[in-house]
Amino acid sequence: MIYTDRLVLKKVTLDDIDIFTEILSDPALTRYLPKGEPYTQEEIQSSVQSRCEHWQKGFGTYVILQKKYPSVKIGYVGIETVATTYFRDIRYSIAKSFAGQGIAFEAARSCLDNYFADGLGERVFGAAVDQNKASIRVMEKLGMQKESDIKLYDRDDMVYFSMKVKTKASS
Q: How far apart are CA 87 and CA 83, in angstroms?
A: 8
Check residue 34 and give its pLDDT: 77
pLDDT in tens, 48-102: 999 999 999 999 999 999 999 999 999 999 999 988 778 999 999 999 999 999 9
pLDDT in tens, 130-166: 999 999 999 999 999 999 888 888 888 899 999 998 7
Structural domains in the chain?
A: 2-164 (3.40.630.30)
Q: What is the pTM of this model?
A: 0.91
CA trace torsion 142, 104, 63, 43 (10° rounding): -100
Count of Cβ atoms closer than 10 Å to residue 120 Cβ? 15
